[in-house]
Amino acid sequence: MWRKTRRPNTDVSSSCVGTDPNRNWNNNWGRVGISFDPCAETYCGPRDNSEREVAQVSAYLVRLNSDNRFKGYINFHAFSLLWLSPYGYTNALPQDNTAIVNLGNRAASALYDVYGTVYDVGPIYTTIYPASGSSADFAYDNAYITYSYAPELRPASNPPGFLLPPSQILPTGVETFAALKVWLQTCATAI
């Protein structure tokens, strides 16, 4: 049950280990919904892209999408039953918000049609909480990937929280796949 990276925080003279990788991206880093305490779960790191994983993936996304061929990005999380979209650092809406939310609603509807699981759809900032330095915001703003999401999968609440009961693993996969097909069809036709 480890949320953060495993890099020691020796650069800030702390014995606590790790940085929350979804607060470390080079997009409005360190603004809201983060902590500068290396021992906190939402520690955003000593600087943006300080984590090797984040730096490598962000550089890859920008390089990969230099010709704007990629229209979709998803970063799965658990838990809460939310289909989250940019932005996390502000309550302002992205330029493509109508299209982003429409696709999110269609994906959530396809997911619902499988087992009746209800997902709330909307921007990170207003749907769950403010959180800057997220990969969904980075993918949208920096890699120019329009349909950027951070779905929070099952379960709905805590408990069981991050410990998904084995009986929910297969249903989660099946319903999420239904949503992904809708998302993928839209991304493929947007190219």
- Domain containing residue 84: CATH number: 3.40.630.10
The count of other CB atoms within 10 Å of the CB of residue 188 is: 10
- Tell me, what's the pLDDT at 161? 81
**128 assigned to some structural domain:** yes
Dist. CA 35–CA 167, nearest whole Å: 35
- Report yes or no on 1 lying in a domain: no
The domain in which residue 94 lies consists of 10-189
- Inside any domain, residue 5: no
Residue 69 lies in a domain: yes
Q: Give the model confidence (pLDDT) of 70-120 as tens digits.
A: 899 999 999 999 999 999 999 999 999 999 999 999 999 999 999 999 999
Percentage of the residues of the chain whose pLDDT score is greater than 90: 84
Position 68: which residue type?
N
Q: Is residue 179 part of a domain?
A: yes
Examine residue 66 and state whether it is found in any structural domain, yes or no.
yes
Q: What is the arithmetic mean of pLDDT over 22-35?
A: 97
3 found inside a domain: no
Could you tell me the pLDDT band of residue 145, with boundaries at 50, 70 and 90? very high
Residue 157 lies in a domain: yes
Token couple for 166? 């084995």
Instruction: Check 41, 51, 53, 152 and give the catalytic one.
Output: 152
- What's the CA gap between 7 and 115, in Å, rounded? 40
53 assigned to active site: no
46-73 b/e (C-beta count within 10 Å ≥ 16 → b): bebbbbeebeebbeebbeebeeeebbbb
Please check whether residue 137 is in contact with residue 89, taking contact to mean a CB–CB distance below 8 angstroms. yes
If one counts the domains in the chain, the total is 1
What local confidence, expressed as pLDDT, does residue 2 receive? 86
Average pLDDT of the chain to the nearest whole number = 95
| Positive or negative torsion for Cα 86, 89, 91, 95 | negative
pLDDT at 88: 98
50: Cβ–Cβ under 8 A, 6 or more apart, which residues?
Answer: 11, 19, 24
Region 160-186: mean pLDDT is 94
Give burial (CB, 10 Å; 0-12/13-18/19+) of 10.
exposed
Residue 10 has pLDDT above 80, yes or no: yes
Q: Token pair of 104, please?
A: 């999110």
Q: Residue 134 in 3-state DSSP?
A: coil
